[in-house]
Amino acid sequence: MNLDALRSQLASKQKLALLVGTAALVLSGIGAMADTTHFFRGYLLGYLFWMNLTLGCLGFVMMHHLTGGDWGHATRRALEAGMRTLPLMLLLFIPILFAAFNLDQVEGHHGLYEWADPKHVAGDKILTQKAFYLNGTAFGIRAAILFAFWFIWSYVLSKGSREFEKTPDLSIVKRMENWSGPGAVLFFLATTCASFDWVMSLEPHWYSTIYGVLFLVGQGLATLAFMIVFTAWTTKYEPFSQSVTDKHFHDLGKLMHGFVVLWAYGSFSQFLIIWSANLPEEIPWYLQRTGHGWLILALFLMGFHFFVPFFVLLSRHVKRHKNKLIWVAGWMLIVRYADLYWQIVPSFKEESHFHWLYLVPLIGIGGVWLFVFLWQLQERSLLPLPDNSYESAEAVTMKQVQGA
């Protein structure tokens, strides 16, 4: 199969994604009119899942500019397309921003952020002291700053990639590397801030200094899993069937294995620190997530988010064979959703029952996200260098110098 066949498939999948996403968002809108509280909770859950992929793509683009490696050449175009979904995610952030302001709903704060209800804050001494930070205006200003940073770095790296596609010059690569260095540090800080504002503040009495790291690791794990699934699918078609090899999947599999370990390490460290300190303002977070039926999901995550994938990915055979690795990656996407669900939904003091609005917004946002992702992917050449090879920029430049 040639490149035209792949582009035809991408266009077909793009239309399907838009159709499914639009239908799910319409259904979500109907659900919002019937049950505002569960709509906002489900919307936040779905938004964070796909925002993790957008930010994860940006993070891995910077990481590859700093470290290099064949794994990045095999996924570069997809990663760049993923980070260019930021305008969509900014638009889809509006309902969450809306929930950060008290609009005299029945529950005041739409059942999402309790600090958004002035009456609730007035009766809570701790929230009153935190009100200078946890309020709708400050929430919106911080979100604007975060999106501005993500937009600037995404634009600069995307622009550099387009320039390098036309003129593979080492100076362009160095420029993107120079931007990626400080960008990686700022990315860590910005994403940590986002995790505090959007997720940790769901329970404003609770705090964890490790939470931002866990959020970042979850982003990386979800992004790697998605890239493995997508890249494995593209290898059915030219030019990927010849260009992407078992070595590329081996590298991606090793990276995913590393992030599985990091997730377990961070999760256990957070639990151990809070358990050993036994402070009344910290332990309720875990008490809520191990009671009311949530213990089953906690044990599920322990077994199937860490132990099973950890031992499966120890196998070199699994990591080098895409038809096996794709199943592990697909499973990791499922458990990433389960982990977000376990982190978010118990914050509302709910029993461990499932509401349909916890799934439909995920599908709706995912459909339009995939539509924009596939659209952006087709805007550029599908391979990262003009000569459709995986040579490094340094090698391309050296050839130009030697031929001069």
pLDDT digits (tens, 9 = 90+) for 335-367: 999 999 999 999 988 766 789 999 999 999 999
Distance from chain centroid for Cα 264: 18
pLDDT of res. 403 = 47
Q: Once rounded to an integer, what is the mean pLDDT over residues 187-203?
A: 97
Q: State the CB neighbour count (10 A cutoff) for residue 185.
A: 10
Q: CB under 8 Å to 11, separation ≥6 — which residues?
A: 374, 378
pLDDT of res. 351 = 67
Q: Which residue has the tokens 């260095």?
A: 181
pLDDT of res. 386 = 41
Count of the separate structural domains present in the chain: 1
**Of the listed ranges 90-104, 105-119, 149-163, 172-186, the one predicted with least confidence:** 105-119
* Residue among 157, 160, 333 nearest 232 (CA): 333
pLDDT of res. 103 = 58
pLDDT digits (tens, 9 = 90+) for 196-250: 999 999 999 999 999 999 999 999 999 999 999 999 999 998 888 888 999 999 9
In angstroms, the CA 172 to CA 74 distance is 20
pLDDT digits (tens, 9 = 90+) for 251-266: 999 999 999 999 999 9
The answer, yes or no, to whether residue 396 has pLDDT greater than 50, is no
Q: State the CB neighbour count (10 A cutoff) for residue 240.
A: 19
Q: Which helix (H) or strand (E) holds 148?
A: helix 136-166
In angstroms, the CA 382 to CA 76 distance is 9
pLDDT of res. 292 = 83
Q: Kindly report the average pLDDT of the chain as a whole number.
A: 91
Percentage of the chain surpassing pLDDT 70?
A: 91
The answer, yes or no, to whether residue 109 has pLDDT greater than 60, is no
In angstroms, the CA 253 to CA 326 distance is 10
In angstroms, the CA 281 to CA 261 distance is 28
Amino acid at 401: V
Q: pTM for this structure?
A: 0.93
Highest mean pLDDT among 84-88, 113-117, 124-128, 389-393: 84-88
pLDDT of res. 55 = 98
Q: Which residue has the tokens 């909770």?
A: 41
> What would you measure as the largest C-alpha separation in the chain, in angstroms?
75
Q: Give the structural domain span for 347.
A: 3-403
Q: Is the Cα dihedral 294, 290, 119, 140 positive or negative? A: negative
pLDDT of res. 241 = 86
pLDDT digits (tens, 9 = 90+) for 42-93: 999 999 999 999 999 999 999 999 998 888 888 999 999 999 999 999 999 9
Question: Which parts of 167-294 fold into alpha helices (H)?
Answer: 170-198, 211-234, 240-243, 246-277, 283-290
Question: Band of the pLDDT at 117, cuts 50, 70, 90?
Answer: confident
pLDDT of res. 306 = 98
